[in-house]
Amino acid sequence: MSLERLQGLERSAVMPTYKRLPVEFVRGEGALLWDDEGREYLDLLAGIAVDNAGHCHPDVVAAVTGQVSKLIHVSNLFYTQPGMELASRLSESSLGGLVFLCNSGAEANEAAIKLARRHKPGGNFVVLEGAFHGRTMGALSATPQPEKQAPFAPLVPGFSAVCADVTAITAAVNDETAAVLIEPIQGEGGIYPVPDDVLVAAREACDRHGALLIFDEVQTGAGRTGSLWAYQQTSVVPDAMTIAKGVGAGFPVGALITSASCPTSLVAGDHGSTFAGGPVTAAAALASLGVVAAEDLLTNVKVLGAKLMDGLAQLPGVERVRGRGLMIGADISGDAPAVVLAALQQEALVINATGPSTLRFVPPLVITKAQIDAALERLSRLPLA
Ligand SMILES: *Cc1c(COP(=O)(O)O)cnc(C)c1O
């Protein structure tokens, strides 16, 4: 079907919540995508930090096709192996506690919010200014952006936002605080790593007041920053973390994971999800984790991330570069959304803007050095200034 026909269907049938770029992708492999006319694109977005193992990784394809022909769904009223194995794998690779599987980042944060209220009934939440935790009502209440929140008021009560600053966070946490929720690197907000001293201050304030420190690793997780989870490169261990995006290789998998020492768990009847931990999505996640948890891949993420950051910093029009591993933001003097469109159409390069002047780079983690060079070359021809 032609792009024009798809756009016609969109106009007549699709609720207009997304602003799509004018291209139809039909195939992907590694860090490459192809459109319906056979044009090859270099992908530095990875479906928004999702295709961490690369498009259609053979291990993921084999795991999914193997599982899908045997059993697709039976619900959490029964045992299936992939879901149990995934929970175990996630726990032992991270905080060592208990796992609640779900289907998205927002759902993982909803579970985290319920965990915190279970921990301290009636308690409040502290989040950071500029945060993004999702678009369901609880997660939206934790996302202090007036343009996203205002049309849907009243929100869930009990959320307050502070700037990422030691004094501010220390002052904001008190005995009524159930949890502090932080993205170790703010993603949608423009790739802002939260300084280590702020994370330490949050940890100390939570310990002082019996609050949970919860990291939202939905975007930073699954190898994105050069360690399997981003907290592993900070000096802080949270009581719980939420993950999604890169975990399922493109299949809808999210999770709330507690630490071995987390004083609270959700209990029978507290929470649930019909699809969660299903055998096909869990098989995809297990195969994908096998790829992105490999030490040599994680080392490569750090090396290639540094290379991309250096290269970006040298391009005319680039004013600032931030990030860790292959999660990189670049402020430019030019118009970022216009650069994104030009990159797609003129240079067959898939990138994204988190705001009017910030470009985001979150490529598949299997991207090669040669592909990073090619991306920088293509970027150098774009109107960044
Ligand atoms: C994308 C994102 C979410 C929301 O995830 P969905 O799967 O879109 O619900 C939550 N937190 C962070 C940090 C994210 O980047």
Chain segment 191-224, per-residue pLDDT in tens: 999 999 999 999 999 999 999 999 999 999 999 9
Domain that holds residue 163: 71-292
- Confirm whether 78 is a catalytic residue: no
Burial of residue 337 (CB within 10 Å: 0-12, 13-18, 19+) is middle
Distance in Å, CA 280 to ligand 1 centroid: 21
In a domain, 40, yes or no: yes
Average pLDDT over residues 367-379: 98
Ligand 1 in reach of 91 Cβ (< 6 A): no
pLDDT at 294: 98
Output the average pLDDT for the chain: 98
* CB of 104 closer than 6 angstroms to any ligand 1 atom: yes
Q: Distance between CA atoms of 89 and 291, rounded to whole angstroms? A: 13
Q: Which residue has the tokens 């988190």?
A: 354
Name the residue with tokens 């330490």.
200
Q: Tell me, what amino acid is at 216?
A: D
**Residues 310 and 167 placed together within one structural domain of the fold:** no
- How many domains does one find in the chain? 2
Specify the pLDDT at position 219. 98
Looking at the fold, whether 146 and 82 belong to one and the same domain comes out as: yes
Residue 325 CA to ligand 1 centre (angstroms): 19
Look at residues 226, 258, 292 and tell me which one is the last residue of a structural domain: 292
Q: Are 323 and 331 in contact (CB under 8 A)?
A: no
Residue 278 reports pLDDT greater than 90:
yes
CA–CA distances in Å: residue 207 to residues 3, 182, 263, 321: 54, 15, 12, 34
- Three-point CA angle 98, 202, 226, nearest 5°: 65
Q: Are residues 44 and 84 in the same domain?
A: no
Q: What is the pLDDT of residues 150-193, one digit of tens each?
A: 999 999 999 999 999 999 999 999 999 999 999 999 999 999 99
Q: Name the active-site residue from 51, 100, 120, 132.
A: 132
- Decide: residue 284, CB within 10 A, 0-12 exposed, 13-18 middle, 19+ buried: buried
Q: What is the average per-residue pLDDT within 318-327?
A: 98
E strand residue ranges, the chain: 25-29, 32-35, 40-43, 96-102, 124-128, 159-162, 177-182, 185-186, 192-193, 212-216, 240-243, 254-259, 318-324, 327-332, 349-350, 352-355, 358-361
Residue 370 pLDDT greater than 90, yes or no = yes
| Distance separating alpha carbons of residues 350 and 345, to the nearest angstrom | 9
Q: State whether 302 and 287 are in the same domain.
A: no
Q: What is the CATH number of the domain that holds 277?
A: 3.40.640.10
CB-based burial, 216-233: b 16+ in 10 Å, e otherwise: bbbbbbbbbbbbbbbbeb
Pocket test for ligand 1, best of 51, 107, 188 (most atoms within 8 A of CB): 188
**Minimal CA–CA distance to 230: which of 238, 218, 242, 221?**
221
Tell me the per-residue pLDDT of 19-77, one tens digit each, with 9 for 90 and over. 999 999 999 999 999 999 999 999 999 999 999 999 999 999 999 999 999 999 999 99
Q: Are residues 208 and 281 in the same domain?
A: yes
Asked whether 161 and 144 are in contact (CB, 8 A), the reply is yes
